Homo-oligomer: A and B are copies of this chain.
Amino acid sequence: MSDWIYPNFDYRPERPLFLCVLSNTDTGKIPGLSAAGSSPDLTDYTPGADAELVELNKIVTIPEIPNSPEGATTPAAVTRAALTLAKIPSLFVTSGLRQKPVVPYVDMNGSAGRDIRFETAVPNATDIIDRATLLGRKLATLSDCIFIGESIAGGTTTAMAVMQALGYPGTVSSSLHKNPLELKQEIIDQAMIRCGAHFGSMKSDPLGAITELGDPMIPCALGLMKGLEGAKVVLSGGTQMAAVLCAAHALGIEGDVSIATTKYVMEDGSASFRSIVESLGRKWYMVDPGLERSGIPALQCYANGSAKEGVGAGGSILAASLRGVTQQQIVEESDKVLMTAELPKPK
């Protein structure tokens, strides 16, 4: 299918594994910032609910499926569709997650990220990197190709803060149709003043940038990459994962690492996904989930720029396509997931 794009991914994984990092950040709770959850307070539960939907096609720990204020449903539905069709195993990794899901997860401990305007964001970033490195090393002996996604509401702001501290001028995408970039920049400016940083000032102190301005997903993804050197790694996400790539570059983490995302992130004129990734000399892959053909409005709206990506949706579609799954199958299965998902009755 001509609109089903995954250029030049010439490797066919034998034992692919889909990892997804689940984290919270209080920065993401600033009103108006994130679409991942219908209200800021529910965002503590969003990552766990995503994991439950992917693993069980059911949501247990909150009474509703994560929806954005714009009505887009969580990309976890698409991720589940892709992984189920391709029979690819998933493993969730919690790093600073407050509300744990009822599915198996590997816990990196760590506390939820703090509001970067007022506090050091991830005081235990080094510990998280170390633990995730240990986990990555194990997984490298078991899988030849690892996809790493994320679910962290409000993570694009902390991603942009880290990039700016490291001297990358890019802007991040948004799960909202209209990217609240001005609000993000205000928050970042305030955080920079708090910790005495400015654009590029932490170029030679990436750990400091993550600790002061990041979120717990970033050190976890970095540690996994570090431990997985030797295996093929595909970061699965948009500008948040691009920020992880920037930090990896600054930390000297090498390896066969590329990044896959959805067409909806690539088409986001407000974000600079492609230029960031290319400036780092890394390969990117774009997939078109084809959700304009979905029968469900909460997925159709992706094609208009709501939600766009998350829970590793782009990477999971790429992984599935390498096993022969078609775009049509992804769309149909995503619809089926949402029509059959078991949700708790609202109280």
- A binding-site residues for B, Cβ under 8 Å: 15, 17, 55, 87, 89-91, 100, 102-109, 127, 131-132, 134-135, 137-139, 141-143
Contact = CB atoms under 8 A, between A and B. Distances in A.
A300 to B, nearest CB: 31
Given A55-B134, A134-B55, A142 B105 contact: no
A102 B131 contact: yes
B106 A15 contact: no
B15 A141 contact: yes
Contacts of A134: 55, 103-104
Contacts of A142: 15, 17, 89, 142-143
Closest 9 CB pairs of A and B: A89-B138, A142-B142, A104-B135, A89-B141, A106-B106, A104-B106, A107-B107, A104-B131, A104-B134
Nearest to A94: B107
10 contacts: A55-B134, A89-B138, A89-B141, A89-B142, A100-B109, A102-B127, A103-B131, A104-B132, A104-B135, A107-B107
Given A89-B142, A91-B138, 10 more contacts: A55-B134, A89-B139, A90-B138, A103-B134, A104-B107, A104-B138, A105-B107, A106-B107, A142-B142, A142-B143
